[in-house]
Amino acid sequence: MAKLQKDKLPEHLAIIMDGNGRWAKSQGFKRILGHKNGTKAVRQTVETCAELGIKNLTLFAFSTENWNRPKLEINTLMELLVSSLKKELPTMMKNDIKLSAIGKLKTLPKAVQGELNEVIVQTKNNNRMNLILALSYGARNELVRATKNIAKQVRDKKLAPEDIDAKLIQEHLYTAQLPDVDLLIRTSGEQRISNFLLWQIAYAELYFTKTLWPDFRKEDLLEALLNYQNRERRFGKISEQLE
């Protein structure tokens, strides 16, 4: 494999971690074992991104639509999230990784909220990499939330309608302090966005791999990053303007 160029790495990488259930089914296991094995891929991906120098990594861990899954699976997923946060805290401290979360966090079970807040507080001074978990997250909900907050400011005469622009909307998103996504990876062969960071991926490069998330390893990540570096990002310009 060709060598990655350190100066051309994405500043913000986002991943839709898909395929846990199908992986378990293919192995003859229950779906939850797919989720448990998926935590290994999370650990390796996070550590590799930190080693490479990728500053921001957002992982789609649980969507607003995932609440429609069977109650047993949801409860097991939440228990797995709590145990994973406890287990991975030393790794985050060792690798100087700061954790944050986006989404309707108040809809999460109290135990999850408590453990999540604890890890966020413990890692708040780390600055090597930002790890963002999207939990109970939906992009449409995020945009509705932003619109309502802006509308309230207009209603209260704190803001004029003509003052509303892309920058203002960005400031009202969960990711207000983050740069837009440069590269979005989705595993499992599905080729859709699934209501994830719709505003933030406006100019992102999209990379789809058939690899199921529990099988996603460092080599798969490096292949995706190399593919990204071989693309020409024009942002509406023509090639000659970039030279």
Backbone angles phi, psi at 98, to 5 degrees: -95, 130
User: Is the CA virtual torsion 188, 194, 200, 202 positive or negative?
Assistant: positive
Nearest to 34 by CA among 214, 177, 215: 214
| Residue 3 DSSP label | P
Reference 228, options 196, 190, 198, 185; nearest CA is 185
Q: Choose, from 18, 182, 215, 220, the residue flagged as catalytic.
A: 18
Annotated catalytic residue 66: yes
Active site annotation includes 165:
no
Q: Which residue has the tokens 């080599």?
A: 219
Judging by DSSP bridges, how do beta strands 56-63 and 183-186 pair with one another?
unpaired
Q: 35: helix, coil or strand?
A: helix
Contact, 21 vs 31, CB < 8 A? Answer: yes
Which of these, 12, 231, 223, lies nearest to 134 by C-alpha position?
A: 12
Identify which of 243, 228, 239 has the alpha carbon closest to the alpha carbon of residue 5.
228
The catalytic position among 20, 37, 56, 66 is: 66
The residues that are catalytic are 18, 66
